């Protein structure tokens, strides 16, 4: 005899990290035009709820699909090297799994593009790694589990100072960022919806003084 006033149907819609991201607006359009099974689920829910004399409040948890697409990680190329024997080009970045922990924890794939040459052909294979002096600090499958690609395709002649944008990084990245091997955490910038796309600093970059802020001198 108890009537629920709130029904939470869950959600948890995942991000397809292995494909170029689809904008949230396009996903919503697909739902509304019946191009996805989500539309069938929504129709069934609404039909049942609409038939109730006092319909309960419907709650939906969209999951990381919405927030992931809203975040981009910008990483700077610090060094470029070539392993002649293997004919491999390596890019060493200033962001490793201390900044994007899911690359290590779950072997999640984050699509990367050259931020200042996004319209250039991305046809040169690179091995990509972070700065942590750790064998797992790579943007490919270090344990050969078959989950991540061995190489990332970016424009030819990538140089130190170039910026790589890793897409779909809005879910969990800020919360999981940590100071492994004494690396300060990165800053966070929000692009304001003010008609001009004004950038606003919402979290400052950590300093080395921050790393030692909780250390106490010996008595």
Is 31's pLDDT higher than 50? Answer: no
For residue 115, what are its two tokens?
């931020």
In the predicted model, what is the mean pLDDT of residues 167-181? Answer: 92
Active site residues: 133
178 vs 96: CA distance, rounded Å: 10
* Neighbouring-strand partners of residue 91: 80, 128
* Neighbouring-strand partners of residue 129: 92, 138
In the predicted model, what is the mean pLDDT of residues 174-189? Answer: 94
Q: What is the pLDDT of residues 58-79, one digit of tens each?
A: 887 777 777 888 899 999 999 9
What mean pLDDT, rounded, does the chain reach?
A: 85
Ramachandran sector of residue 68 (left: φ over 0; alpha: ψ -120 to 50; beta: rest): alpha
177 vs 104: CA distance, rounded Å: 12
9 vs 150: CA distance, rounded Å: 38
Is 192's pLDDT higher than 90? Answer: yes
- Regarding beta strands 152-154 and 124-129, do their DSSP bridges make them parallel or antiparallel, or are they unpaired? antiparallel
* Listed range (107-116, 122-131, 200-209) with the worst mean pLDDT: 107-116
* Residue 141 burial (10 A CB sphere; 0-12, 13-18, 19+): middle
**In contact, 141 and 148? CB cutoff 8 Å:** yes
Q: What is the pLDDT of residues 115-173, one digit of tens each?
A: 999 999 999 999 999 999 898 899 987 766 667 888 999 999 999 999 999 998 998 89
Is 208's pLDDT higher than 50? Answer: yes
Confidence of residue 51 (pLDDT cuts 50, 70, 90): confident
In the predicted model, what is the mean pLDDT of residues 184-203? Answer: 94
Q: What was the pLDDT predicted at 126?
A: 95
Q: What was the pLDDT predicted at 24?
A: 47
* Orientation angle between helical segments 37-50 and 24-32, nearest 10 degrees: 60
* Neighbouring-strand partners of residue 128: 91
Q: 169 in helix, strand or coil?
A: coil
Q: What was the pLDDT predicted at 7?
A: 85
Q: What was the pLDDT predicted at 213?
A: 93
Q: What was the pLDDT predicted at 131?
A: 95
């Amino acid at each position: 005899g108890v009537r629920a006033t709130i029904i939470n149907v869950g959600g948890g819609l995942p991000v397809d990290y292995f494909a170029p991201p689809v904008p949230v607006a396009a996903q919503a359009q697909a739902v509304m035009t019946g191009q996805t099974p989500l539309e069938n689920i929504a129709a069934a829910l609404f039909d049942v709820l609409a038939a109730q004399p006092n319909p309960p409040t419907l709650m939906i948890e969209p999951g990381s699909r919405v927030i992931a697409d809203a975040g981009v990680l910008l990483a700077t190329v610090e060094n470029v090297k070539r392993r002649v024997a293997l004919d491999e080009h390596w890019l060493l970045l200033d962001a490793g799994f201390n900044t994007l922990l899911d690359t290590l924890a779950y072997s999640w794939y984050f699509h990367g593009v050259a931020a200042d040459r996004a319209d250039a052909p991305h046809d040169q294979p690179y091995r990509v790694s972070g700065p942590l002096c750790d064998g797992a600090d790579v943007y490919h499958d270090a344990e050969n589990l078959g989950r991540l690609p061995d190489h990332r395709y970016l424009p030819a002649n990538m140089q130190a100072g170039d910026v790589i944008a890793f897409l779909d990084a809005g879910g969990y990245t800020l919360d999981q960022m940590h100071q492994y091997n004494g690396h300060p955490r990165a800053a966070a910038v929000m692009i304001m919806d003010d008609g001009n796309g004004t950038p606003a600093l919402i979290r400052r970059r950590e300093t080395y003084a921050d790393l030692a802020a909780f250390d106490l001198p010996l008595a």
